[in-house]
Chain A
Amino acid sequence: MSTFLGIPRRHAAQEESPLRGALPFPKAARRELANDQLRRNLAHATSVIRSKRALVVDEMPDWEALRDAGAATKTQVMSNLPALLEQFEANVTARGGVVHWATDAQEANRIVTELVRAQGVDEVIKVKSMATQEIGLNEYLEDNGIAAVETDLAELIVQLGHDTPSHILVPAIHRNRTEVRDIFLAEMEDAPADLTDEPRRLAMAAREHLRRKFLASKVAISGTNFGIAETGTIGVVESEGNGRMCVTLPETLITVMGIEKILPTFTDLEVFLQLLPRSSTGERMNPYTSLWTGVTPGDGPQNFHLILLDNGRTNALADQVGRAALHCIRCSACLNVCPVYERTGGHAYGSVYPGPIGAVLTPQLTGMHGHHDVNSTLPYASSLCGACYDVCPVKIPIPDLLVELRGRAVDADRGRTIPGGWDAAMKAAAWIMSDPTRFAAAEKGLAAGRLVAGRDKKIKHLPFPGSAWTHTKDMPAPPKQTFRQWWKETHHE
């Protein structure tokens, strides 16, 4: 037990974190919506991935059965997580790996930094990883004098552009190729001076740049897609092979893994290696699947450290919404079909986990602390159109989870001294809508709307909050007669 010396630990709600935005979603969305280039890039990229996914999913006769199998395995994992993690740890250790447990971002970052320092290097290479983004590892390492070089092409673009990722799978989805060329020319020291925006030339430039890094690096850091309890095996799936370079070439490999990534048995991969690539990149099979188990003398990294990361997951597991959200395999299919994500992009969500699943996962991992908390706006960042649920390979009922979280956001504010406008409006509406006499009276009041309508029976300006509607669209004038009035006139019983 260490002596407490510092300032009291601030509540997570106020803490800066890659999981928490600075602005409420509607404001952040407005900022992003103003960027026409971003919207064009996103609309193009998501529609391409969407149609690719639809094509390779439609050709699967047993897709629904696979989804059911994936969901069942995840349910099983969440019910047995402690036992599976212990089994996993024992198997990783038995095969020569070293397992570390980190309760939060700070602890995970400290462990990684100490491990890198122990190797005496000040530069490491990295496989794209959501877990390390979630804990802000690159920034932490940088503060400690260690440069972390991203080797995934899109992640490299984001890193060189001093930008943040905006998509779980395609972090530079918000950039087009001309922007990428400009970033390379400005920030990549060995970029060819005559670089064009031809995708092939851009990829070749990155390849040359990265090859030098791969061959010189002693330490690599990876995330993981799957950890198999039965064997202690780690799995990473990717498209470019950069990950495989990282997990095979350096002397030391440090893997950060969220504790929910466990699969019970090796054969479970059979289901997930079908679900994941089709859902994420719209490919039948991802080009590279790397699996490693502990340390093999004379082959691959000779030091293997695995950091099992909690960072809010245990809390989430104890909650019905959180538990369902932990089923997520980070395929990002829900982002690609979400009409909200398509217009606003990932940055509007303020978290490394954007889109529909991010709107569920982020408040679960870092809490919702009343109406002043930006996280409370995330469950509302959806029109509840349901497209996310339809594509989820493990059948996470995202719209239902969002509704439940909205309920909690409202409940968290109950008992406020001064109720918000929505509270007052919804309470009044419930009072009216649970009684036909009150409703009929309210309908009479609506007739006033006919006065503000023009001769064309359209309302073009409403006072706040109706102005949010009439700012971009007309409202029809209320009719002269409600349906129930017409019914009374025409249907005497």
Chain B
Amino acid sequence: MRIALIATCLGDALFPEVAKATTVLLERLGHQVVFPADQVCCGQMHVNTGYLTEAVPVVRQHVEVFEAADFDVAVAPSGSCVGSVRHQQAMVARRVGDTALADRATALAGRTYELSELLVDVLKVTDVGAYYPHRVTYHPTCHSLRMLRVGEKPLQLLRAVQGIDLVELPGADQCCGFGGTFSIKNADTSSAMLADKVANVVGTGAQVCTAGDASCLMNIGGGLSRGDTGVQTIHLAQILASTREQVAA
């Protein structure tokens, strides 16, 4: 399958290893990955901060770049960004009266998937041949959980990873407190939410906390790091891309 990669703005700039791992994983599974080079951002930050009008050119850029690209399906290693593509892009376009853009965004959203959705629902694979010999706990990010309803898919993928010791995270479905600019606008409340998430992660005894969103992991990782907990954060795509050969090297 020809799969277009949405690296996400945060992934491109701050967490390139997530997009790299997504690429490596999909290529290993025998697919062709394309990267439409003029992509930037889905527009979620603007939408969720209330700058809905400002989000429109960002959305237009996304739609135009991916419309022009040649691919079967698009994937983003981010439940949040895919949530934005599916639930917000058409909404902001419609809000400024651009129904044509709204329709184009909806059409693109129809073939855009979050990584675990792509693997399990579209590519019909749960065992991706990964090897990751660590104790891991999984945080289901809010938008994966409630906007996309990915449900058990990420866990199905993780359970099939060889060597992994997957431990359940108490209060898993509670928000980590990131919420984009919420973490700045309501920093105190956000930090209080994060403190509980960090305590829950540490309580599992896991060495690694994983999730399907680099943004939430940046928040949780920031708290784990400040608390000198020794617990690392790693994106689901990186675990799935990890192989025995790679670990041995």
Contact = CB atoms under 8 A, between A and B. Distances in A.
B7 A383 contact: no
B221 interface: yes
A297 interface: no
Interface stretch (A22-30, A150-158, A183-191, A258-266): A22-30
Interface stretch (B41-49, B99-107, B156-164): B41-49
B45 A429 contact: yes
Contact of B95 (A26, A339, A386, A407): A407
B33 to A, nearest CB: 8
Contacts of A476: 14-15, 218, 221-222
B49 A430 contact: no
A64 B120 CA distance: 26
Chain B: number of interface residues, binned into ranges:
35 or more
A471 B187 contact: yes
A343 B54 CA distance: 32
Nearest to A466: B184
B182 A468 contact: no
A340 B183 CA distance: 12
Given A383-B178, A465-B184, A491-B35, A482 B146 contact: no
A291 interface: no
A439 B50 contact: no
Given A433-B40, A435-B40, A474 B225 contact: yes
B47 A403 contact: yes
B182 A384 contact: yes
B154 interface: no
B16 interface: yes
A4 interface: no
Interface stretch (B57-65, B122-130, B200-208, B238-246): B57-65
B243 to A, nearest CB: 17
Nearest to B195: A472
B77 to A, nearest CB: 11
Contact of B49 (A25, A30, A422, A478): A422
Interface string B163-198: 000000000011101111011111111111111000
Interface string B204-235: 00000000000000110111011000000000
Contact of B190 (A383, A410, A465, A491): A383
A430 B46 contact: yes
B61 A387 contact: no
A434 B54 CA distance: 10
A472 B50 contact: no
A446 B225 CA distance: 21
Contacts of A26: 185-189
7 cross-chain pairs, A with B, having the tightest CB-CB distances, nearest first:
A383-B179, A406-B50, A473-B222, A386-B146, A385-B175, A483-B16, A434-B57
Interface of A: 25-26, 29-30, 33, 39, 339-340, 343-344, 379-387, 389-390, 400, 403, 405-411, 422, 426-427, 429-430, 432-436, 439, 443, 446, 458, 460, 465-466, 468-469, 471-476, 478-479, 481-487, 491
22 contacts: A26-B186, A340-B186, A343-B189, A384-B182, A385-B146, A387-B142, A407-B52, A408-B50, A410-B52, A436-B40, A439-B41, A443-B13, A472-B191, A474-B221, A474-B222, A474-B225, A476-B221, A478-B13, A478-B14, A484-B7, A487-B37, A491-B33
Interface of B: 7, 9, 11-17, 19-20, 23, 33, 35, 37-41, 43, 45-55, 57-58, 60-61, 65, 88, 91, 95, 142-143, 145-147, 173-175, 177-180, 182-195, 218-219, 221-223, 225-226
